[in-house]
Structure 1
Amino acid sequence: MPSITDTHTRIESLGTYLPSKVVSTDELIAQLDTDNPPPLEALTGVRERRVYDDSDAGYEDSFTLARHAIDDCLSRSRYTPSEIDVVISASITRTRGRGHYSMEPSFAAVLAEEIGAEHAVAFDIGNACAGMVTSIMLLDRMIRAGIARTGIVVSGEQITPIAATAVREISEKYDPQFASLSVGDAGACVLLDRAVDDADRIEYVDLMTSSSYAEFCIGGPSRTSQGLAMYTDNKSMHTEQRYLQGIVWYLDYLRERGSRIEAEQLDFIIHHQFSTRALDYINALLERESGLPAPESLTVLEKYGNTASTSHFVALHDHLKRGTITPGSTVLIVPSASGMVYGHMSVHISALGS
């Protein structure tokens, strides 16, 4: 058996699901009870987002979004559900039914049963908006160690209820719930197996946590009314010092591997989709620290918003469909999440289609 250092995994197939309902930023801002609304689109770049179906006939909870994403992923895969060894759910939101948060049994276990992955080991992982990349890192290690042959990582994010809370409660131009207005709902799923060549493989995936910033973004029950809310200290979150932690760690990580960023030949970079202005700043810092132009930055937040743990793969799938990412491309996926969590995942893409 090849050693773990000689083995790589690949993204064998990728699927997403986006609700059909579209809500523009102008529509959302118009609902605020303030004469001085925040300049949301100017600050974040979010023009519109998808919002779950709230009707009785077609209600879309977190579980439904995840299930649709799995179906889309499997429709492109050569594997059947019975051939899947591992199912990992990374959803932050865990709604199953209207207003019901489901903690047990695990989402992964129920999803595995529903799709017919009867032999799969199934478990949930929660790591905020870095949850899918965290789960991919673990599944990557499992496959490389020979513990599993195949596995799926899935997330369904019915996250816009925090925007509904923010609309009810925001009364000032700048408010701790401001970032909640930028979110959108989505599902995403990736299927991993062992790489068969260098053209399609995960070169590396790793993450770290800097707990000194853990209090800057907190989700939970609203402090003033019923409903879910997210409170973000934007002034403390969006600083050069914090952004540099992830950038410097990545450059140090490459040096420890005996590489440099210019040797990586990165074609594109996909950050967590939260603010175009912030992403431009991060890319400028990367250029300053590396002394090289940053890879082309791919975004979709202008039409989907911040879709939480699914955001990187919604962006990846969208740009594959557009043809932006051509065969032979290398994409650097950069997770960032409350905690604070930083990471990097380099993926070579050739056969992975839309």
Structure 2
Amino acid sequence: MTTRIIGTGSYAPENRVTNDDLAKIMETSDEWIRTRTGISERHISSGEGTSFMAAEAAKQALEMAGVKAEELDIILLATSSPDKCFPSGACEVQAAIGAKNAVAFDLSAACSGFIFALNTVHSFFKSGIYKTGLIIGCDELSKLVDWSDRRTCVLFGDGAGAAVVKADETGIKHLIMGSDGVKGPVLECVSRTTENFLTKGHPQVGYMTMDGQEVFKFAVKKVPECIRQLLEETGVDKEEIKYFVLHQANYRIFESIAKRLDVSLDRFPMNIDRYGNTSGASIPLILDEMNREGKFEKGDKIIIAGFGAGLTWGATLMEW
């Protein structure tokens, strides 16, 4: 028994912020951003929180799957930007969609989050504990970036993507996950600081910081490595893979990964130009987009791969 995706959904805030819009509030330009990242615009929240966006994506996925919320056994929300420390965003989604029979909790693995959540639910299915699940990747990174730092703020957008999964005879074939906490500081966001009556200070909330060059080097090395490992361990040739669906981080990263794998860039679907880097939402968001455009056919082999803060990475081979 394995895990098959039977429905997808997505949500992005209505506000589209173009590179030209950003050029009005900081020293940057459309040309500067596009040539370095491939991003032209992104969706930015003006009040839609993480749990709201996640629930909207979940409703779409349930509708496509033809599954009622009360049929769900488990809900996992992969996010780095929950609305609250507690209750979890997954519990808030559970309440919003009426999934009264599901266990619900959040998972934090940054841009690798959706893959980690998918593989976690897959493990529950393999053990026979659960049979129907909802996996959501959602982030509202606009509240974590420093909008005066053009090196980071121009990269990110807000959004959500969701998938309903079912225990089935076909679906996930193999998976790989990894972490390197030693390199964690190259991409981090400090939480609320420890301040109380003993320290005499006031809590501070940090912004995201990133060593872009180190993240780039990590991504273009680790992603091809884990994809090759995935193919070797399954005996599948890369030419059998219809699409390589990667975390949408940077167009140049895609170019480098495609070159290292010696695979045509056409087999790496991208929507980063319209959404930017939406962290945990990026993979399920583009999966939903492709699914609704009819780009997947039964039996297609695809690899989804992500990389992000932690540092974390993962790849999953599945048959649609």
Query: Given the two structures, how large is their TM-score scaled by the length of structure 1?
Result: 0.80
> How far did residue 24 of structure 1 move?
0.4
1:98 aligns with none
1:229 aligns with 207
Which one has a larger percent helix, Structure 1 or Structure 2? 2
> Does 2:285 align with 1:314?
yes
- Tell me if structure 1 keeps the 8 A contact 2:38–2:251: yes
1:178 aligns with 151
Alignment CA distance shift 1:46-1:227 (3 Å) = farther
Write out the 4+ residue segments of structure 1 that deviate beyond 4 Å after TM superposition. 35-38, 292-295
- Tell me if structure 2 keeps the 8 A contact 1:153–1:189: yes
Query: Aligned to 2:254, which of 279, 283, 297?
Result: 279
1:116 aligns with 98
Residues in 1 aligned to 2:91 and 2:298: alpha-carbon distance in whole angstroms: 35
Number of residue pairs matched?
Answer: 310
- Tell me if structure 2 keeps the 8 A contact 1:267–1:295: no
Residues in 2 aligned to 1:37 and 1:126: alpha-carbon distance in whole angstroms: 32
Residues in 1 aligned to 2:30 and 2:112: alpha-carbon distance in whole angstroms: 30
2:6 aligns with 12
- Tell me if structure 1 keeps the 8 A contact 2:20–2:30: no
> Does 2:43 align with 1:50?
yes
> How far did residue 228 of structure 1 move?
5.3
Residues in 1 aligned to 2:111 and 2:8: alpha-carbon distance in whole angstroms: 18
2:220 aligns with 243
SS of 1:130's partner is helix
Structure 1 residues 184-333: aligned runs within 5 Å: 184-196=157-169, 198=170, 201-220=171-190, 229-239=207-217, 243-257=220-234, 259-262=235-238, 265-287=240-262, 296-333=267-304
- Tell me if structure 2 keeps the 8 A contact 1:222–1:229: no
Alignment CA distance shift 1:266-1:29 (3 Å) = same
SS of 1:203's partner is strand
- Tell me if structure 1 keeps the 8 A contact 2:11–2:56: yes
Structure 2 unaligned runs (5+)?
194-203
Of 107-116 and 23-32, deviating more is 107-116
Alignment CA distance shift 1:35-1:113 (3 Å) = closer
1:88 aligns with 76
Residues in 1 aligned to 2:183 and 2:249: alpha-carbon distance in whole angstroms: 17
Paired letter, 2:162: C
> How far did residue 186 of structure 1 move?
0.7
- Tell me if structure 1 keeps the 8 A contact 2:51–2:90: no
Alignment CA distance shift 1:294-1:265 (3 Å) = farther
Query: Given the two structures, how large is their TM-score scaled by the length of structure 2?
Result: 0.88
1:3 aligns with none
- Tell me if structure 2 keeps the 8 A contact 1:267–1:331: yes
1:79 aligns with 67
SS of 1:87's partner is strand
> How far did residue 331 of structure 1 move?
1.7
2:311 aligns with 340
1:125 aligns with 107
SS of 1:60's partner is coil
Paired letter, 2:40: R
Per-residue Cα deviation, 1:35-87 (whole angstroms, up to 9, x for no partner): 899811111100011112x2xxxx31111101111111111122211111111
